[in-house]
Chains A and B, each alone.
Chain A
Amino acid sequence: MDECIGSNRHCAELFWILKIVAVGFKDFCFKKSLWLFHYGGASCNNCDIEILDCLTPRYDVERFGMKLVGSPRHADVLLVNGSINQRDKDRLLEVYDQMSKPVKVVAIGACGCTGGIFAEGNTFAGPVDKLIPVDAYIPGCPPKPEAIIAGIVKLIETM
């Protein structure tokens, strides 16, 4: 403390370094342990199956510290697939509100990203990014598990 009184600048620098270390540690832990919650809209089930494929021994996303959790309260990443119609919209917003922030949202498949072939339908409530902020898009109909893993690794790199 005695040194700090003499040179305020050193003290501020030290504080700054400590802050960077602390923030870096927080970000590091967040990156290393993303828990997933899977929300399927009016999906044709192909994207759901491909998402579950990522958890099988062949692709094993648990090696990145990810796991599928049952409750939205525990989750860090919301995976949304399927076209979102008028009925899904309220449920999607409710699930999103129930999650403890910060939360990353990943839109999976053509329907999740843009609406796909349902984009012109009269019950369509807009692609996912019209309703909630989306951090990563993984296009494909359905995207291969390799594509999903590549997308999620890119999401981790941006964090």
Chain B
Amino acid sequence: MGEHILYFFIYPGFLFTAVVGGIIAGVDRKLTAAVQFRKGPPILQPFYDFFKLLLVKETIVPANGSKITFLLAPVFALCGVSIAAVLILMPLLGVNSGFEGDIIVIFYLLTIPSLTYIIGAMASGNPLASVGASREMKLIIGYELTFLLVIAAIIYKSDLETGLYEILQAQQSGSSHIGSLSGVLLFIAGMFCVQAKLGLVPFDMGEAETEIAEGAFIEYSGSAFALIKLSKYMLFFILPALIILLLMGGVQLSGIHILWAILKLVAVVLLITLIRNTNPRLKINQAMRFFFVWMNALVVIAIVLSYFGY
């Protein structure tokens, strides 16, 4: 029992994910600065931001909103991310903690953050927040089908195994999924889903800063906003980790393989940051068409290809 609590709170759950996620968010800001020929903030900037919001700033609750829902939404987001982090990272670190079909559970757990952001935004009673929330909702409708199809294709490619640990074993005994043509297509679709889940450009219409003033998060301040920031940092770690696990053959934590594992993570984060920095923000109808038509078509082609053994 004590061991399980350790898993959830320290390693590889809440604390570990938060620290690594914060560092990754700092690396992301540094890379963004490099792309724009700037010097950029220090690498620990996300931690300064988080502790400032948590310890220094006052938390304001909107007068005409639903107070309890507004304040509980970030807590639920953090809980959902922490549980998803444990379920994703345990198989990745080589511990068979999973159960048959835990990939479906992770699929649902990963929608909890977006869902709670929507609920919190709706509870704040701010018109701009509800615009942001409705865009976020449409975006979820767009990318979830693609994400589910990607997962279905991966299950098919791993001989109908539905546990993360078994999928990892199937890749490590054979070759990783990204080594085949269908795997490359799945990787492309999966990366765009991750981009949309993280709410980064080109899919940041839900929290467009210049347009609707951070949309869904406009009313959050102080500790509540700190928790939202923290859940975003943690997502920035576990979603690339999920991509590595599902498509890139996972990681091995022994000797020189640790370097290889870090390299994989950095490669995925670099790709996300470069997509983010070289694209404009899409309109919500463009984003939905992008997922409904193009990404779904891509995944269906990948499924057909993997049926013929490519």
Interface members, chain A 50-90 (any B CB < 8 Å):
57, 60, 62-65, 69-71, 73-74, 76
Q: Which residue on chain A has the smallest CB distance to residue B213?
A: A70
Binds A, one of B40-48, B70-78, B234-242, B272-280: B40-48
Cβ A57 vs Cβ B60 within 8 A: no
Cβ B36 vs Cβ A32 within 8 A: no
Cβ A29 vs Cβ B41 within 8 A: no
Q: How far apart are the CA atoms of A29 and B41 in the complex, in Å? A: 13
Set A29, A62, A69, A70: member contacting B48, Cβ < 8 A: A29
Tell me the smallest distance from the CB of A27 to a CB of chain B, in Å: 8
Cβ of A124 under 8 Å from chain B: no
Cβ B214 vs Cβ A60 within 8 A: no
Cβ A26 vs Cβ B221 within 8 A: no
Contact pattern, B 219-241, Cβ under 8 Å of A = 1, otherwise 0: 11110010000000000000000
Tell me the smallest distance from the CB of A93 to a CB of chain B, in Å: 16
Query: Contact residue range for chain A?
Result: 20 to 34
Cβ A70 vs Cβ B210 within 8 A: yes
Contacts of B213 in A (CB 8 A): 70-71
Interface size on B, residues (CB 8 A): 33
Cβ A63 vs Cβ B41 within 8 A: yes
Set B41, B48, B59, B218: member contacting A71, Cβ < 8 A: B218
Tell me the smallest distance from the CB of A152 to a CB of chain B, in Å: 15
Cβ B57 vs Cβ A76 within 8 A: yes
Cβ of B38 under 8 Å from chain A: yes
A interface residues (Cβ-Cβ under 8 A, vs B): 25-26, 28-30, 32-33, 57, 60, 62-65, 69-71, 73-74, 76, 98, 100-102
10 inter-chain pairs at a CB distance below 8 angstroms, sorted by A residue, are: A26-B55, A29-B56, A32-B52, A33-B48, A65-B48, A70-B213, A74-B220, A98-B60, A100-B57, A100-B58
B interface residues (Cβ-Cβ under 8 A, vs A): 29, 33, 36-42, 45, 47-49, 51-52, 55-60, 209-210, 212-214, 217-222, 225
| Beyond A65-B49, A70-B214, A74-B221, 12 extra complex contacts between A and B, CB < 8 Å | A25-B51, A26-B52, A28-B48, A32-B48, A32-B52, A57-B37, A62-B33, A62-B38, A73-B60, A73-B220, A100-B59, A102-B56
